[in-house]
Amino acid sequence: MARQIHLIVVGKLKDSHLEAIEADYLKRINNPELIIHEVKASAENKEAEAEAILKKVKDLGGGHLIAMTEWGKRYTSVAFADWSGALIERSNRLIFIIAGAEGFSSELLNLCQERLSLSELTFPHKLARILLVEQLYRAQTIRSGHPYHN
């Protein structure tokens, strides 16, 4: 069973209101714990960002990589709870990745075992990050029978 879920994001949040929202959810997520890793955004290109992401993945010891992309699979919250719960049970480490503004390099996208979308809508990266963190918390509450989802 995965003891931790990791989220690798390109860039920093840089908004105290969003940081407070994220911190609140991070305090609540405990089954398993969620750890966020920020890698530097690159003015150069998405390949440079992919290198930084892959270095972080290597530093973490690898894991089951999930690309957050508009072309990924979409779930309802309940289905996401079931899907992520199954992954938590069978994977030693889950790593969600939110790429930078230029998106994923083809190399990085090809290394990911899963592609996940939060919506058909396009969100700014900082909001996508908050939405994913909230959905991971929601999934935890759904799996545990907590009334948050209601």
Q: Please give the model's pTM, rounded to 2 decimal places.
A: 0.94
Give the per-residue SS3 of the chain: CCCEEEEEEECCCCCHHHHHHHHHHHHHCCCCEEEEEEECCCCCCHHHHHHHHHHHHHHHCCCEEEEEEEEEECCCHHHHHHHHHHHHHHCCCEEEEECCCCCCCHHHHHHCCEEECCCCCCCCHHHHHHHHHHHHHHHHHHHHCCHHHC
pLDDT score recorded for residue 92:
86
Top CATH class, 4-149: alpha beta
Tens-digit pLDDT profile for residues 56-95: 999 999 999 999 999 999 999 999 999 999 999 999 899 9
